[in-house]
Structures are given as C-alpha cells and as structure tokens.
Chain A
C-alpha cells in the first residue's frame, strides 16, 4: 500500500524541480500573483540583469494596495500614481496580464485569484503579500514572498524552500449559531499565539472546518500568517470543486473538467497520514471574538474583558498594548465604544461577508458620529452584491459603498483611520498604526462589525435581532 501522505507533502513532492541533499529544494511555482507595491524593484532587477519573465502565462497582476476606493479617475497621491504607472509599464514591457484599476477583473489579489479560477487545488501559488495563504482554502500550497523572491519567480518560475514541517490544526465539533470563520481563526490565534505556526505549513481539519463555505475557509486560511504560518490550507472536497466549476481559468469541457477535478481531489490528505505536530481546539466553546490589543493574538470573546497585567507573563507588552489602545485592565469588551467601521479586506470582503453584515444592518441606522465604509473585495463582488441589493441596504443605513481595493486594512490609499480613532474592522491586523498613525483597530467578523456600527460599541451579535434573511 502506498505511503499515507498529507496534502502538504503531496503538493511539495509534485513540485520538486531539483533536490540536493543538505540543500533546500528548488520547487516549481504554478501561479504567480503580482501587485503594485512589492513588484517594482523586482522588475527593475530583471531589467538591470537583462532577464525576461520566464512564464508570463503563469503570472497575473492587479492593483489593489493603494488604489483609491472613490473618485478613481483622479489619484491625488502622486507617489501612488507613480507606483501604479510603474506596474502598468512593467506588465506591458514583460508581457504580463494586468487587471488595472478600471479593469472589470480588478480587485484584491487574493479575492480575484479564486474568483477567476486561477486558484486551484494542488497548485503552488505565491505573491509578494503575506496573505497569499488565503488561496490555501482550495488545497493549494500558497504563501507570501519578499521582493527578491518575486524577482526569482519572475526570472525562473521556481523558488528555494525547505521541505515544510506539517501541522494539523484540528477543530473539533461544530461552531455555534452566529459564530463565524473569522471568530474561529481569531480564537485559534488567541489560544496558540502569534507564532504557533512559525516554520510550519498548517492544515486545518475537523468538522467545523469542513462545514465552512469556501468563503469561510478563505477567511481562516487568510490569517494563517497571523499565527506565524507562512501557508495554511484545507484539503479539497466537493465544495471546492463546486466553487471552481465554470470559472474562467478552469477547463469547461466535461471530460477535461472531470479529469482535473479528480486530480484536485487526489491531493486531499490521506486518512491516517502523520503530521509533525497536531494541536486541537473545541469549536463548540468559541464565541464571537474581538481583538483588544496590538497583535492578532490579543483577542478575547465578546463576553470577556481586557487582561489583568498581574495575571500575565509579558507585562511590558500587555501594558504597552493597553496604553496604545487607550483601554484599562479588566475592561469589558462590551464597554468599548467605536467611531469607525471598516467592512472589507482580503479576510472578509466576499459576497457572503457583505450579505451577512447587510442582514444585521437592514432597516437600521449607523449610530450618529460613526464613519462606516464597505469596500467590496473586487469589482465582481461589488456587482454581485449590487444584484442582491446590498448596496442599497448599506447606503440607507448610512454606510459608504466604495470601489474594490485593500483600503483601510492598511491605509495606503486615502482610507485612513485618524489618530485616536477606534475602528471595528473586518481586516486581519491590529498592529499599531496599521490603519493610520495612532489609530486603534479591533478585529471582528463582518456581523460583529455591522452590529457595532449600529450600537456604537461591541455587542454579542448572537443576541441581535435581524429583520429577515436576504435571499
């Protein structure tokens, strides 16, 4: 009988181009995604060395990090405009497909990959962005790289890497009603810390993970890097195949599709395969989560409170975080008042995220004094959401409805939270200054962000009444 293998080992072994004992493997990259911020120096490196892009057909570029989300025709920031012009020129010079900011395929790179069907099980996918782990939801080995590695992939379509250590993050039991994929991944990082995954590729398994939609799986895999894991993935199943059916870069012809979907499913981890490490969490105990501090491990349930400095080992770090966040020890989460709401980012800007938030919002109003924006993950997400009438629900409630991009997740465009501002954000990082110098970020699910917009403070969305489901 063949050796039992995890999906991680199967994908890795399938992609080894060259192996020398005692050296890192050279592995083939099936899909390279490119954006404007981490690529200019890589293209310049190619130019200086007189090199070409080896496989432009396996490379796809878009603009997402610093595109404006309104008045797009008029980019006020000259340096941003220059960076986007550089990407345009680089893609034209090197023959790389580009969805620029007016293109119908434009969106956050990790939203459009799956949407176009570029993301597929068994592929190796890289991008100069740490949230590339998102694509792992499809059973792809996907990870973020630096600009030197971007240049390496452009020139050679390969990368060096050590055979990854494997970790099984086993989620036992089902998630409770009103508890989302976002709450699950925040709870995992809160429990195991911001470096539990360092040096590993993580596979998420168990009932709660299998039950998630593809969008929910993307939310979980997206934040793997916040737990230190460069890549996190989920074995493909029928849901994966269903999601990809009919996507642009997936074979349409019946026989070809059957063949490829069989191949996809063959990558799933074999029953009984061994991991280097396994950690477990009980899904039934997870409540809606809210981050209180300045890293994604500083997270507590909505029923909880900020920590007591006496009760922790890392007193300096906790004290600094409380001070930056302008919170006191043992402060109940439900007492924290917010003045900004951001629904968007590669973590939570897909159609179901927006629909779930809209169901909370419908017929209600954003509390006075709160600035609330919704930034769909892509043009396609935006138009699908508009077909469902979500834009009207948000706008009637007092939200702004914007164009697609990374936006206030990292504030490289004009969507910045002001110093001292406090934001309920569906993004992935609550680092100091991330959303704006001096801004305070609380990471939550779209549902929790929506409820906070109405109440002006954090509330348990499970006890929140909604008018009706949107079909």
Chain B
C-alpha cells in the first residue's frame, strides 16, 4: 500500500444516498482473478448502455470532471456487498479521496486497506462541496496529518481514528504488522481459549 499524507484534486460530486457496491462495480466484472484493471468498469451500468455507448443521464464521464480524484458522495456510501472490487475500481479510475456524511462499515474498511483516504464530513459541508463541484473546476486539499480539508482557503477539520491515520500515512501492510505478533497468536492457540470443537 502506498503511503499518503496529502492530496489535492478536482472534485466529482455524486449526489446520491445509499450508493451500493453493486452500482460501484456490477457483478459481471467480479470474475477476474487480478486486483488491477477494474477502473473501466466503475459505475458501469450507470455510465454505459447495453451496447457499451455512454449514457447521458450520468455525468462521471462529462469532460468537466476529467481527472477528478476526490469524490464527494452521499449518505451510507458503499453499502451492500463486501466486494473489495469496489475500492479497487474507484482507485484504478483515479479516486484517491472519498468524502461522505457516512460510509457502510465493510466498504470503509476495504477502502482504507487500499490506501484510499475516506473522510466522514458533516452533511452540510458535503452538500456545500457538492454544489460547488458542479462547476467542474472545484478543488479540495486534504491533509491527513493535520486532519483538514481545505477549499477556497477555508479549512475544515475532520475526525479519523488515529490508527487508520497512522496506517495511511506510513503505508503499512497489516499482515506484516500482525506477523510481528506471531508469538501472541501462538500463545493464544496454545492457551486453549479458542477451545471450540
């Protein structure tokens, strides 16, 4: 996982609540056995018609949002299936930061494990940023160390659990960290506390 401290980028506003992972990456694209190359399938059924032509009622591919790397989304973003293909597709498409009033638990954890900065922000703030982003040239700057989002010179403070922050900033791999605790795992297994059948 790449270490990340700061990110500045163009905002894409996704003004919908309860966006589920079936929308983020539809099931027909879950059959690949690689981690890469999922960006092209992001929001596929919203972006494309059956014949692969672009739909006009969804604006992710609108020129003005080209190069957007910060998504400002609605409530309960990423609900539904546990598919990690959802953050893989967002990241591969180019999104490094996702801001929403609330996230579904599994998506939140999956996104962090892939180095995506996920920020819970007040609903009012999210609404304001979504409105401003309609212009297509609205940028946000995220500073993970300071826990701030800066827009038009205005600084917004956000909360994030310190251990998530630490992992993102250092790009730590959970498995390597855990294997340093192997003695504890051995002790646990030997203690018989698991003791179930």
Chain A interfacial positions (CB closer than 8 Å to B): 14-15, 17-18, 22-24, 26, 28, 30, 37-38, 40-41, 44, 49, 51, 54, 65-66, 77, 79-80, 82-83, 86, 120, 122-123, 128-130, 144-149, 151-152, 155-158, 160, 162, 194-195, 198-199, 225-226, 228, 230, 249-251, 260, 263, 295, 314, 316-317, 320, 410-412, 419, 429, 431-434, 437-438
Contact = CB atoms under 8 A, between A and B. Distances in A.
A130 B184 contact: no
A51 B23 CA distance: 34
Given A146-B84, A147-B84, A149-B113, A157 B185 contact: yes
19 contacts: A15-B193, A28-B185, A28-B193, A28-B194, A41-B34, A80-B31, A128-B82, A129-B82, A146-B87, A146-B109, A147-B84, A156-B179, A157-B185, A195-B79, A195-B102, A198-B76, A199-B105, A432-B23, A433-B45
Contacts of B27: 410-412, 434
A95 to B, nearest CB: 17
Contacts of A14: 193
Contacts of A51: 175
A254 B166 CA distance: 51
B6 interface: no
A110 B17 CA distance: 29
Contact of A37 (B16, B30, B34, B87): B30
Given A120-B197, A160-B178, A263-B195, 6 more contacts: A38-B82, A79-B31, A86-B33, A148-B84, A195-B79, A249-B197
A49 B194 CA distance: 28
A147 B82 CA distance: 8
Nearest to A122: B196
A276 to B, nearest CB: 15
Contacts, number: 176
Nearest to A81: B31
The prevalent SS among residues of B at the interface is: loop
Interface residues of B, number: 53
Interface string B39-77: 000000100001000000000000000000000000110
A251 B195 CA distance: 12
Interface in B165-197: 174-175, 178-179, 181-182, 184-185, 188-189, 193-197
Given A24-B163, A26-B181, A146-B106, A156 B18 contact: no
Interface of B: 15-18, 20, 22-23, 26-28, 30-35, 45, 50, 75-76, 79-84, 87, 102, 104-106, 109-110, 113-114, 161-163, 174-175, 178-179, 181-182, 184-185, 188-189, 193-197
B104 A198 contact: yes
Nearest to A155: B175
Given A40-B33, A146-B82, A317 B194 contact: no
A320 B106 CA distance: 25
Contacts of B18: 194-195, 295, 317
B82 A145 contact: yes
Contacts of A429: 20, 22, 80-81
A26 B189 CA distance: 13
Contacts of B31: 37, 66, 77, 79-80, 82-83, 412
The 8 A-B residue pairs whose C-beta atoms are closest, nearest first, are A146-B110, A40-B33, A146-B84, A144-B82, A148-B113, A147-B84, A130-B82, A79-B31
